């Protein structure tokens, strides 16, 4: 362990203890997550590709990590910053530690940082870029990372078998728990790369399509919008997080960047049809601009109770739904798992109607 620093592009410097033998300076967008548990699911979530994660909860790592709880096979984040990182594994399922997982992947972790002060700065100035370094005067690279979908998408088509409805999962960086919940609903699921052609998807003869979460600016996926529009014109479709934004964009809506994003396991949303409020898991830096939504085609189905932003859309004629939050939780509450049940229910109804 040695002295290290997180330097923000706005000039602030945070001192801490830098991990292991890391000697390469690591930069990226600095974001914070307010979750009190689920740190393993967070660091393995592909949506954090290119980002440095600040944990606001003061103690991270105390129950270790387990391979079963990974959301992806690889780590795509740039590093983590926290107040304290425990080396303990106080859980019967633990097979390793956060430190070990980060070291295995050559990723830095900076501890002993005043995360309260750091998060207050991000909330005031907005999400900023930063660099983890041994040098206090390290320069932060300005600008924005480009598209990272090629880094996080599956490299081959993989089918997970059941005898239920066949779902194609369009992978922009999907979380494994999305796949797990579809399998729990007895679906047959085929995971395909985000750039899989419409012809190849049609040849799989799916009953429905799920468009996954993923990292970065949705504008980087603009070349996929025509395909997404065609998919939603043809199949019952569910979009999650980035998938929600892309469905909206495919129908002409615009997105905008939030000041500091929604990342945590306690974000309240309201179902505008039932009036019920749910606590949700979220991880995104962009939202759909409500004034750009075509109200003749879509109605807003969920709204964020903290800032009023759009959290869900429902097509008025077609079985197409999109949600900004993560119904699978992991980490976070499972209040909205019913969305998977509703989606699969629509697929089963479609199957029955086709066989009558």
Q: What is the pLDDT of residues 21-44, one digit of tens each?
A: 666 789 999 999 999 999 999 999
- Residue 254 and residue 128 share a domain: no
Strands, E, within 69-154: which ranges?
A: 79-81, 84-85, 109-111, 128-133
- Residue 39 and residue 156 share a domain: no
Whole-angstrom distance, CA of residue 152 vs CA of residue 58:
29
Q: What pLDDT does 25 receive?
A: 86
Whole-angstrom distance, CA of residue 299 vs CA of residue 315:
6
What CATH number has the domain bearing residue 22?
Answer: 3.50.30.20
- DSSP letter (8 states) at residue 327: T
Q: What pLDDT does 161 receive?
A: 83
- Is 47 part of any known ligand binding site? yes
Q: What is the pLDDT of residues 314-325, one digit of tens each?
A: 999 999 999 999
- Residue 171 and residue 67 share a domain: no
Whole-number Cα distances in Å, 332 to 63, 169, 239, 248, 325:
16, 22, 19, 25, 11
Within a domain: residue 142? no
Q: Is the pLDDT of residue 288 over 90?
A: yes
Q: Would you place residue 349 in the very low, low, confident or very high pLDDT band (cuts 50, 70, 90)?
A: confident
Work out the percent of the chain whose per-residue pLDDT is above 70. 98
Overall average pLDDT of the 49-67 stretch:
95
Q: Would you place residue 145 in the very low, low, confident or very high pLDDT band (cuts 50, 70, 90)?
A: confident
- Is 332 part of any known ligand binding site? no
- Residue 293 and residue 157 share a domain: yes
Q: What is the pLDDT of residues 215-235, one digit of tens each?
A: 999 999 999 999 999 999 999
Within a domain: residue 139? no
DSSP, collapsed to helix, strand or coil, labels residue 278 as: strand
Per the rule left: phi > 0, alpha: psi between -120 and 50, beta: everything else, 146 is beta
Domain that holds residue 33: 2-133
Q: What pLDDT does 352 receive?
A: 74
Closest CA to 280 of 247, 298, 306: 306
- Residue 253 and residue 113 share a domain: no
Q: How many CB atoms lie within 10 A of CB 342?
A: 12
Q: What pLDDT does 23 receive?
A: 63
- Residue 303 and residue 256 share a domain: yes
* 336 contacts: CB under 8 Å, gap ≥ 6: 278, 280, 323, 325, 327
Q: What is the pLDDT of residues 94-114, one digit of tens each?
A: 999 999 999 999 999 999 999
- Is 242 part of any known ligand binding site? yes
Q: What pLDDT does 55 receive?
A: 98
List the catalytic residues: 241, 326, 328
- Is 27 part of any known ligand binding site? no
- Residue 111 and residue 34 share a domain: yes
- Residue 321 and residue 189 share a domain: yes
Q: State the DSSP string of 207-246.
A: SEEEE---SS-GGGGGGGHHHHHHHHHHS-EEEETHHHHH
Q: How many CB atoms lie within 10 A of CB 295?
A: 10
State the pTM of this model: 0.95
Average pLDDT, the chain: 94
Residue after which a domain boundary falls, among 106, 133, 160: 133
What domain count does the chain have? 2
């Amino acid at each position: 362990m040695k002295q290290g620093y997180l330097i923000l592009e706005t000039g602030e410097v945070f001192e801490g203890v830098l991990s292991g033998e890391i000697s390469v300076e690591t930069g990226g967008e600095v974001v914070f997550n307010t979750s009190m548990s689920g740190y393993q699911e967070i660091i393995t979530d592909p949506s954090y590709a290119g980002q440095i994660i600040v944990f606001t909860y003061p103690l991270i790592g105390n129950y270790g990590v387990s391979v079963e709880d990974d959301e992806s096979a690889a780590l795509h984040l740039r590093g983590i910053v926290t107040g304290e990182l425990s080396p303990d594994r106080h859980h019967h399922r633990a097979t390793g530690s956060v430190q070990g997982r980060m070291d295995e992947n050559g990723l830095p972790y900076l501890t002993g940082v005043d995360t309260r002060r750091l998060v207050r700065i991000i909330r005031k100035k907005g999400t900023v870029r930063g660099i983890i370094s041994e040098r206090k005067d390290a320069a932060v690279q300005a600008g924005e990372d480009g598209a990272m979908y090629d880094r996080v998408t599956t490299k081959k088509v993989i089918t997970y078998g059941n005898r239920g409805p066949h779902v194609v999962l369009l992978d922009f960086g999907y979380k494994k728990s999305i796949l797990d919940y579809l399998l729990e609903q007895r679906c047959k699921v085929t995971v395909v790369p985000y750039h899989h052609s419409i012809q190849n998807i049609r040849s799989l003869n799916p009953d429905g399509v799920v468009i996954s979460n993923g990292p970065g600016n949705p504008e980087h996926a603009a070349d996929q919008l025509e395909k997404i529009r065609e998919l939603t014109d043809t199949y019952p479709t569910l979009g999650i997080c980035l998938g929600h934004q892309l469905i909206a964009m495919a129908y002409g809506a615009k997105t905008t960047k939030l000041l500091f994003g929604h990342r945590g396991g306690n974000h309240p949303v309201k179902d505008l049809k039932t009036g019920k409020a749910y606590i949700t898991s979220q991880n995104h830096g962009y939202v759909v601009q409500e004034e750009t939504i075509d109200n003749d085609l879509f109605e807003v189905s969920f709204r964020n109770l903290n800032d009023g932003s759009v959290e869900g859309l429902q097509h008025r004629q077609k079985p197409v739904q999109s949600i900004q939050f993560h119904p699978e939780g992991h980490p976070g509450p499972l209040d909205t798992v019913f969305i998977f049940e509703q989606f699969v229910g629509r697929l089963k109804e479609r199957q029955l109607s086709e066989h009558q």
